Amino acid sequence: MTADAKLLALLDAERDRQVDFLQRFARIDTANPPGDTRQAADFFRAFLDKEGIAHRTEAPKADNPNIIASFDGGKGPGRHLVLNGHLDVFPVGDRNAWQRDPWSGDILDGRLHGRGTVDMKCGTTALLFAFAYLHRLRAELSGRVTLTVVSDEETGGKWGTAWLLENCAKEVTGDCVLNSEPSGLATVRFGEKCMLWLRFTIAVKGGHSAYPHTGGSANKVAAALIQDLLAIEKMTPDEPATVRATLDRPEVRAAAELSLGAGAADVMRRVSVNIGTIQGGVKINMLPPDCVLEVDFRLPAGISRAAVLARVAEIAKRHPGTRFEELLPGGPEANVSDPTHEMMGHLLRRADALLPAPPQPIVSLGGTDTRFWRMKGVPAFVYGCSPAGMGGVDESVSLAEFHHVMKVHALAAWDYLTGR
């Protein structure tokens, strides 16, 4: 039996076990906030123990444990591949809006239901099993494989991946990273936009609404400010040549729209501005003396944080009483790996063999933990299930996509570690 056949046999032979694990994982409440992932971490550690795989836990916060598991291939030194997934998920929100318990793990019509099944209990489970099967066949591999199962991804990663890379760098940095956040089967993500969050505070005199000439309205200032901030979306990025050449291809644009919805191909390459919150005013017949806006800017490759901050500073000066501050100071820039990297080739080829049409390389609209590796110069790539429904009411994931993602990651990892 060929090596490929051995790996495929393992992937196909334990489909019931894979689904059972995902279902039981889906039934564990890991909503963040509050972000307590201890029960889920215990569940993963029990699996690794049963597989006979050494592991250890790093918990800079007691209720946010992170698991590191590694093994060496039997054919000697080689490249170090890191697999990365997270345990925490979005909060449930209004439970009454859900048709079934958000922690039910119910299976219906080929879909497994529950909060976080898409983002990213499906993907983290897929990587766990891929890691286990690679471990069983380790005698035929070169190099090293590390699995990082982390907490705190949904609230920035400070106590999860970011902490591991700062405190356990030798163990978890690696030469390449695979992640299975939801991306859509039609796309492989080689980069992601920068997240820049700003809070604007507007303070004016205020007063009685019948006398607008005497005090001014902070809400009126906010309305004008918002229009100027939205104009930042017209900034033109100076994209790296390889990124521009990749994203210009018609088939890449089509794949982005298929996975992420109409308009995604353009949003991927421009600034987006979301006025997330507005708080201002006390009473309908009073001029509001203050107003606070929280704004989420997403910056593409080729537009720096500094450039946007400079533009924002110019705008703020035009609106009396306005000041602003960064909510996530020192965050990373938009980050990309080489879209022609060897690992991209493995992912595209392996997925293509299992799909009606080949997937395409794109840049992610949202953030993932892969940014922490890219900022250290480590190539990182994301391939996962459809993002449809993630974070929404009645979230559910396709089990067919779950098995597909697991297979693609296991085979691509195999190719990378055997130098194929």
pLDDT tens digits, one per residue of 9-56: 999 999 999 999 999 999 999 999 999 999 999 999 999 999 999 999
Q: Are 93 and 102 in contact (CB under 8 A)?
A: no
* Contacts of 311 by beta carbon, 8 Å cutoff, 6+ apart: 232, 235
Q: Which two tokens stand for residue 136?
A: 């069983």
> Residues 54-73: what's their mean pLDDT?
97
Q: Where are the domains of the chain?
A: 3-192+334-418, 194-235+270-326
Query: Per-residue pLDDT for 420 more than 80?
Result: no
> Residues 217-228: what's their mean pLDDT?
97
* DSSP per-residue letters across 356-417: SS--EEEEESS--THHHHHTTT--EEE--S--TTTTSTT-EEEHHHHHHHHHHHHHHHHHHH
Query: Per-residue pLDDT for 156 more than 90?
Result: no
pLDDT tens string 90-104: 999 999 999 999 999
Range 39-42 contact pairs with CB under 8 angstroms and sequence separation of 24 or more: 40/87, 41/65, 41/67, 41/87, 41/149, 41/151
Q: Selecting from 3.40.630.10, 3.30.70.2740, 3.40.50.1220, 2.40.30.10, what CATH number does the domain 3-192+334-418 have?
A: 3.40.630.10
Query: Per-residue pLDDT for 198 more than 90?
Result: yes
Cis peptide before 33 (omega within 30 of 0): yes
Q: How far apart are alpha carbons 88 and 85 in whole angstroms?
A: 10
Nearest to residue 298, comparing CAs of 342, 344, 237, 352? 237
The pTM score is: 0.92
State which H helix or E strand residue 140 sits in: none
**Three-class secondary structure of residue 105 per DSSP:** coil
Q: What's residue 253's pLDDT?
A: 95
What strand order describes the sheet that includes 396-398? 107-108, 111-113, 396-398
Query: Per-residue pLDDT for 344 more than 70?
Result: yes
Same fold: 3-192+334-418 with 194-235+270-326 = no
Q: Are 46 and 126 in contact (CB under 8 A)?
A: no
Question: Given this structure, which CATH class describes domain 194-235+270-326?
Answer: alpha beta
Q: How far apart are alpha carbons 267 and 159 in whole angstroms?
A: 30
How many CB atoms lie under 10 A from the CB of residue 340?
Answer: 12
